[in-house]
Amino acid sequence: MAGRFTGQSIERREDDRLLRGARLLLADGQLDRVGELADSLRACDPGPLRDLVLGSYAYETGDAESALALLSNAASHDDADASIRADAHIRLSSIYVLRGDPWQQAGTVQSRRLPSSAASGIEPIAQWLDCHLARDASGRLLTTFNFGSYARWRLPRLSESIDGRTIFPDSAAAAEAYFLPVRRTLPLPPWRSADLAIVPLSYPVASVLDTASAWRRVATVADQNGRASIIGLWVNREWWSRAGTTDLPSRSLTLFHRATSAGGCDWIGPVK
């Protein structure tokens, strides 16, 4: 038994040396040398360094679809170190500049994605919910004026608390009004009656959800349009026990904007 584990450890170290060497060859522009090693690189154990090296090679040789898939995995992998994430994001940004950001591309009837400023914020969250909500699940979504209309189209099984129409009662709309910074208390949207929430972390209700024992922050994503903003997804634990197809992640995930063909379902927890 001990010998077997020692052998596995040696194999992992050999894979690591091979991948690091190939990474240096790529940095030096020696694509032919990396191409000769391609089969051996693909045979290495899956991981962020392997995905970065193979994704970078695909990028340099013009295989954009493979590059998107592999680099997206490398950028979002929990075990990736800062240098791997940085290299992956640099190449991904180049691909997005050439092809257009994923949130600027229309989807199909099935994906229901639409190019809009709202999609620049919440499309990765919508994709995560596509992967983890039961097909027959429904729920009450707490969201904001800016995101509500997109959520109504993109996530039709959810009932949004507010959208671009001006037909909502003060209990839902008051939190969207402007208040002077000297005001001591601010109205909160109807979070107690909601099942899940998609709101910017800068909104007062975000800190309430973070401290509410019945709620869990599942993920965050950076808005790709306009001023810098981080948007969060929270779910009510009791509702998720009925509506979700997997257990919730042990800690909040960081989601990324990516093409649907490359994104897939990045994080799949234990099936309930």
Confidence bin at 215 (pLDDT 50/70/90): very high
Contact 68, 56 (CB under 8 A): no
How many Cβ atoms sit within 10 Å of the Cβ of residue 228?
Answer: 7
What are 19-53's pLDDT values in tens digits? 999 999 998 889 889 999 999 999 998 899 999 99
Phi, psi of 2 (to 5 degrees): -60, -40
Query: What is the rounded distance in angstroms from the CA atom of residue 128 to the CA atom of residue 218?
Result: 10
What are 159-210's pLDDT values in tens digits? 988 765 655 555 555 555 555 565 566 667 889 999 999 999 988 899 999 9
Give the chain's length. 272
Phi, psi of 142 (to 5 degrees): -85, 120
To the nearest 10 degrees (0 to 180), the angle between helices 82-99 and 64-76 is: 140
Q: What is the DSSP string of 59-87?
A: HHTT-HHHHHHHHHHHHH-TT--HHHHHH
What are 108-140's pLDDT values in tens digits? 555 666 556 556 678 889 889 999 999 899 999
C-alpha of 151 from chain center: 16
Q: Hunting for tokens 């109504």 — which residue is that?
A: 152
